[in-house]
Chains A and B, each alone.
Chain A
């Protein structure tokens, strides 16, 4: 391993003091003065209807109301990968809770009262609340104008259907592969929708000043992408990128939910509607659930063929996704899964169909794991089952088929470094794999599992990062970047990278939250890519600054450039052992020469990074060709789970997760991602259970009825394991980690429950009630009533996957 000074150590987070003292400011904490206006949104009660008339006259009469706004005022669409989303519903509503109008008032109470006075006349339409209905040739269309939407070149929407995108990946010959197999296992798995539940709700403030400049303060993961999407949407109104400024203070959690643009668009247009007045909208907890973006529900059919010796010969993986009313971001989740749904296995014959289906439920988008959590549930459940079916140890089976560096991926590119074998071995050891354990409690049984995971960032091939660094008089440093400190420790990691190059101590480095007018470009803080991508940009910026320092010393003092280096915040020279010039002596004011003049000046550096080796040019029918993913991060996780036979209640006695991060820039922060992400993953399988009624209305948009874990729900023991097989193109060898840690949780629970009780649950979540009922031979799906967790309420095994191609 390389010898680093700061990389690989764990200095305290540089945002820690702000957060522990209450000094950290989130958008809602900013003051906008007494002129601040508030807006309330008028929402659709229907899942699908035509808007016949909107009468705002009564609302406008209420004292304190400033203005009402509808689609007439802003008839535009917007979106990240596909412009299918309407700022305000235009002619048609597509989900319960969709914004139909807004009322702007001087205080929140007045805005709320006035919103109730807006009269909207609807003509209800057939709502598409069943995936199989949505895919029928004569289905009601959620987007009759689909063919008119602009979209990125790697999406393949099918006009006059509800299919927003269909990613096909084909490798080898699956029929031949199945013919070679000794055992073939086929089954269907379902994963419902999930909500991000960042504790800070979305907040947006906007100010459109008298000179025509629009400033937005957003609770966001994506300041630059938000500016870009909003600038594109509002270009018909004469706004350009330079007229829009997005400022993003600390963000109280995102998990993908604050990527791209959702409610932020209202802040932009409503501020424009009341020129000269600042305006703020804070989403209620309920709106967080139904009108931002949710994780998509999916029904997955897995058919796998294996030889008796455990070799996987073929995989057919069909995924039908419930994308909801708008798929502008969510279709890329479907795309990512469609490229990588082999999971971290070497499989010669592959057929993946990942189909993004519009429905009349809430819009969906990015959620930590980006499609991978969803497909791993079925795939990793299936892997354990098929291994047992051929009488092979499931861990041995995984070792045999696990992906390794240099293997060919389903779409033809080669696998990057990553030590899956070591991850498996370390997890197996930690949970004493192979040793059967019994509970001291007579009603409880213990099950174990090891599940694998992989994930690549899903991003456009030219998504890039940039960084500025600038020195201060005392030799301290500002790093000006636009990734978001979303809790992962980004600021600290960027400071460590700059520190490694420039030898300025981390506590002498300030990294500020973004402002698109001042900080360098960043695509978005998504995909677990900022440490890698922005880390490279910061390293390049620091190298640029170091070059300028060396040049300054050389020009002033005449030492050869190649012998000048930095150490402990000083410039030194290999040929002059006594020379040591502190950076603070010259990084602003230069170095004085013998004749009294100065050389140098303020040292600034800039750096960029774009993965120039990627492309999204794969063949639409096979995905062969192109290089759509920058790298995968791989790992394994293990669990010892105790289950109560009678109540179904589970207790995680021990869980372990090993992930190959290339190089941990800050190991304590990586541990934080492992421990936090694992619990978020366990929550999706053990607690969270979203419920829509038969009319498409969300029934549990709050923390009373949608249970996220509390401190009482943590595993008894969580063991984080960091592996480090360097990523050649990463900063100091680092690759992404963040989302990955929640991916293996769901199948791990399902497999461990089977190991403990012999019960196989194929529908997420695997909650206590379901287990207890299954133990009594009662099918939960049969007794749960007609509520649904995603756009399919019937029995998974009845789902018709055959929809042609």
Chain B
């Protein structure tokens, strides 16, 4: 199959590589670039564990072809905490917000996006924002509580 050369910025660093037209961004990030925080939970857009930020917007990397991100900016959890934990990560840590942790990278990015747009979300807005990120362990409560506590005025 024909290879395409794509260039994008990953966590602030330029990244150039060859991909096939049908390769998924999730697989390319994990297997070719070595960024492991986006996880494969369902590979069909249902669970949100593969969430990344594309131009600051949360998207499911299992539903995006790698060729589509040519010229764009990608952020993963690895890039968020390069200068120490973000206040959101610290809040999650303080609240023991995660158990197995598998959903955590996706959840962190989804809430990061939310807080960019809406620094003081209501409980309902938080629930709405993370409704596409499945967590089987926590019952969501400690995740919601951490965000509420962090953002209360």
Contact = CB atoms under 8 A, between A and B. Distances in A.
A230 B44 CA distance: 32
Interface in A723-739: none
Nearest to B76: A22
Given A31-B34, A712-B128, 16 more contacts: A22-B76, A22-B81, A28-B39, A29-B36, A198-B136, A199-B136, A200-B39, A253-B102, A284-B43, A486-B99, A669-B96, A676-B137, A703-B47, A703-B134, A708-B136, A712-B131
Contacts of A16: 92-93, 96, 98
Contact of A252 (B94, B96, B101, B127): B101
Interface stretch (B2-10, B66-74, B138-146): B138-146
Interface string A653-686: 0000000000000001100100111111000000
Given A714-B140, A718-B139, A199 B49 contact: yes
Contacts of A704: 44, 46
A659 to B, nearest CB: 15
Interface of chain A, main secondary structure: loop
A25 B127 contact: no
Nearest to A485: B100
A253 B139 contact: no
Interface string B114-153: 0000000000001110111111111111111000000000
13 contacts: A12-B93, A12-B94, A16-B98, A18-B101, A20-B85, A20-B93, A28-B39, A253-B136, A486-B100, A489-B99, A711-B131, A712-B128, A718-B141
B27 to A, nearest CB: 9
A710 interface: yes
Contact of B102 (A21, A199, A714): A199
Contact of A200 (B34, B44, B92, B100): B100
B100 A252 contact: yes
Interface of A: 10, 12-13, 15-22, 24-26, 28-29, 31, 196-201, 250-255, 282, 284-285, 486-489, 668-669, 672, 675-680, 702-704, 708-712, 714, 718
B40 interface: yes
A714 B139 contact: yes
A282 B44 contact: no
A196 B100 CA distance: 14
B61 interface: no
B36 A199 contact: no
A18 B89 CA distance: 11
Contact of B101 (A201, A250, A284, A677): A250
A198 B100 contact: yes
Contacts of A196: 136
A676 B139 contact: yes
Contacts of B19: none
Given A28-B39, A668-B96, A708-B134, A19 B81 contact: no
Nearest to B132: A710
A678 B137 CA distance: 10
Contact of A672 (B41, B131, B138): B138
B140 A24 contact: no
B132 A672 contact: no
B55 interface: no
Nearest to A680: B136
A21 B105 CA distance: 7
In the complex, which of the residues B37, B39, B96 has the most CB atoms of chain A within 10 Å of its own CB atom? B96
A801 B40 CA distance: 44
A703 B39 contact: no
B76 to A, nearest CB: 7
B96 A489 contact: yes
Given A13-B96, A199-B135, A676-B138, A487 B128 contact: no
Q: How large is the interface on B (under 10, 10 to 19, 20 to 34, 35 or more residues)?
A: 35 or more
B131 A710 contact: yes
Contacts of B17: none
Contacts of B18: none
A156 B11 CA distance: 59
B94 A285 contact: no
Contacts of A17: 93
A711 B130 contact: yes
Nearest to A288: B42
Contacts of A668: 96
Nearest to B45: A704
Interface in B76-103: 76-78, 81, 85, 89, 92-94, 96, 98-103
A135 to B, nearest CB: 34
Contacts of A708: 134, 136
Contacts of B44: 285, 702, 704
A712 B128 CA distance: 7
Nearest to A30: B36
- Would you list the 5 A-B pairs with minimal beta carbon distance, nearest first? A487-B99, A252-B102, A19-B101, A22-B37, A487-B100
Contacts of B144: 711, 714
A293 to B, nearest CB: 16
B36 A25 contact: yes
A711 B102 CA distance: 16
Contacts of B92: 16, 20
B39 A252 contact: yes
In the complex, which of the residues A24, A282, A708, A718 has the most CB atoms of chain B within 10 Å of its own CB atom? A24
Contacts of B98: 16, 19-20, 487
Nearest to B23: A109
Nearest to A108: B27
B25 interface: no
B53 interface: no
A73 to B, nearest CB: 28
B89 A282 contact: no
A20 B141 contact: no
Given A22-B36, A675-B138, A679-B140, A711 B126 contact: yes
A255 B39 CA distance: 19
A711 B138 CA distance: 10
Nearest to A16: B93
B137 A487 contact: yes
Contacts of B140: 679, 709-711, 714
A680 B100 CA distance: 15
Nearest to B135: A199
B102 A679 contact: no
Contacts of A12: 93-94, 96
A150 B102 CA distance: 37
A199 B91 CA distance: 23
B92 to A, nearest CB: 5
A106 B142 CA distance: 42
Contacts of A709: 140
Contacts of B76: 22
A130 B27 CA distance: 42
Contacts of A199: 39, 41, 47, 49, 100, 102-103, 134-136
Contacts of B101: 15, 18-20, 24, 250, 252, 487
B102 to A, nearest CB: 3
Contacts of B104: 19-20, 22, 24
A675 B46 contact: no
Contacts of B81: 21-22
Nearest to B130: A711
A678 B2 CA distance: 51
Contact of A285 (B41, B126, B131): B41
A668 B92 CA distance: 13
Contacts of A679: 139-140
A21 B136 contact: no
A264 to B, nearest CB: 18
Nearest to A109: B22
Nearest to B93: A16
